[in-house]
Structure 1
């Protein structure tokens, strides 16, 4: 196959007759204060590559913003679509990332491991001087942001992973990953009726559990926003726009679950959450890239995203979104997303 043909080849996401299993073998190096893996915490050295469309990448963008790490870790934003080879920087002038000088994220993986054999995934952190990927281990990236980069936090940064709550955060995050974050993919990429129905049932059983858990408490763990909320939010933000129809998660919409819908709107309207969400990029990614699920490539016009701005009344439950901290300021120039106040169906 020629390079041109490879660039145009879409990925395949469904294996007929089989249950979807996520490949969780990532580059597990960590960036830490003690540089145990050879990568020290150092402002200006690393670039976070995180597509707006991807829920796993969205977590890292939210964490970076809430903690105020924008000056310490730069942000590269691939476009919403990609082919079988790689995410590309087609939103940047000339289709080249202005810091890394590459057209495809794949190039940074190949600098680390020639002919890297696994998926080219976001988020990925790239060492700018060498151009090599340091890690694409998305669950650990945000935990390390919260625990290893304190020296570079903004004044008023929240504690997203408080010591006293870590065991509970980890437990809640694990079931959310298994049944919700990855559960929508297990339904959407199912290769058989049985595997789809099992994933569907687990997903909505867990959403019902979350509906009950959040009925009397504003946040998932404790009375402030934590890592657990960030992990749940990025799936909820995509639910009605993508997962309900595209992934056949259609028992009901998020907007038909009163508690979860109010909870999600509460977070969306909190600085650092909704101002990282670009619904047009999200829809383009799923409906165009997953061509074996949506072969026409038609992107839905709806739903109208302005419902995310409706009052949520969750503040009546108490809670302190940022604990003893403060909200982040406005997004940095070049990192803004389209305003929903101007959105049209």
Structure 2
């Protein structure tokens, strides 16, 4: 099964109603939220926000070659085909989640934190690609880690993917819980807690409460050693936990920098079984060593050789 959907499947997932009494048929290979990027045969999903309304571009999308639309307002143009739903963002998220659940065997890693998310995501992606190959791993594109971007990444899942690494971001309470429900990570990685989005999340304790939601129903938790016993984080951790850190930290997996130069660093990786491995790394700095340790911990959980 490749990345494709039928109109009937889309209707079943979204609960939409057919527009203009016209039932759509055929196979869909792409769901696009930008009417300017429509390709022949795409479905245009009309997202709405405080400063934009995709419903205003339904005709434009059809004229650009869309096979149909998913909208939240009845179009004035009788030639527009597709489905009307109450909330296009929720419909989009339902589609992303339903598509993700087509492959329950996909190794799904969710990454969140106040800092280091992108670096850790990329490090884990490198570990996975080394194991399974480039075509077998899906990694969040750029910083598309919000309520829309995560769905875009989920909809890119294909039969060839054995593992996925998705970055989950937040600025308001409840967003991580919602994204976690869409993604359903079996391995949840918390990179760290810091002073980011304090106003929207109600201070540092609010940040912790928001971020800890990623661990719900996860099989494994990957967490900084400094947060293992945190009174807010600890109760949310799954039964299986691996801690990570840099030199001097009491972590299950840690990376110590032995030497540094403009060309990178000579580092030592220590694993939970006490074994250690020395190698040259392209990064420098204690914070990047900790990020790399988070990736190494994820690899260790999956029994990937360092």
TM-score (norm 2): 0.28
Q: Which one scores higher on RCO, CA 8 angstroms, separation ≥ 6?
A: 1
Report which of the two has the higher share of helix: 1
TM-score (norm 1): 0.26
